[in-house]
Amino acid sequence: MITTQNISEKLAEAIKQSGMKQTTIAEKIGVRQQQISCYIKGITLPSLDTLSRLCTALDLDANEILCVERPKEY
């Protein structure tokens, strides 16, 4: 099951791994730094458009952030 907590944890880890500051990411995707903080804390989730820009800025696959597992091929 996908939860807000799972998504916020994945975003927090991706941002940490990127080495970028929240302010820098916010500027790249066109939101305020406080929004990035809210995403990390699980207070709010990014809109799909913002999630897309976040994934681009962090060079991530949205499936990873959304905790989507691909079915195993048999």
Q: Provide CB contacts within 8 A for 51, sequence distance 6+.
A: 45, 62, 65
Rounded average pLDDT over 46-63: 93
Domain ranges, ordered by start, for the chain = 4-64
Task: Please state the pTM of the whole predicted model.
Answer: 0.83
| CATH T-level topology, domain 4-64 | 434 Repressor (Amino-terminal Domain) (1.10.260)
Residue pLDDT, tens place only, 5-46: 999 999 999 999 999 999 999 999 999 999 999 999 999 999
The H-or-E segment that residue 44 falls in is none
